[in-house]
Amino acid sequence: MKKLIIVDDDPAIMDAIQLVFDKQYSVVGYDNAESILNMEFEMPDLFILDKQLSGISGVDVCKFLKNNVLTQHIPVVMISASPAIQVWSKDCRPDAVIEKPFPIKLMRETVTKLIGGAVRSSSL
């Protein structure tokens, strides 16, 4: 089963994303970037990073992942409530950017496009 890592300090967003993908992928959530920056995780097939994390910007975490030889090939989806995320994220080269609040269908389609898997319809 393919694995997703979500890094978001908003429990509601983390829960929503986990609910969307829990039957299709193995989903692991972190409420801060410490484990990611210390490389204390099992390699996923995709990262979902919030731009606004406690203590560090998700943009900086994305840069770290994209500049690390061990993780640079792993797709990163940046999420943010700020419309400026399109501008801020250019430096870190995410594979996709999604504004919050995001349509569940868009999140599913984006992840499926990046790592595969069937897109299932849902009432979420």
The CATH architecture that domain 3-115 belongs to is 3-Layer(aba) Sandwich (3.40)
User: What residue spans define the domains of the chain?
Assistant: 3-115
pLDDT at 86: 75
Identify the CA nearest to 41 among candidates 49, 51, 29, 50.
29
CA separation for the pair 31, 50 (Å, rounded): 10
Position 34 scores a pLDDT of 95
Per-residue confidence (pLDDT) for residue 119, from 0 to 100 = 44
pLDDT tens digits, 65-91: 999 999 999 999 999 988 777 777 778
The percent of residues in the chain predicted with pLDDT above 70, rounded, is: 94
Residue-wise pLDDT for 28-70, tens only, equals: 999 999 999 999 999 999 999 999 998 899 999 999 999 999 9
pLDDT for the residue numbered 85: 75
Q: Any idea which of 34-38, 101-105, 119-123 has the lowest mean pLDDT?
A: 119-123
| Under 8 Å between Cβ of 102 and 8 | no
Residue 92 DSSP one-character state: T
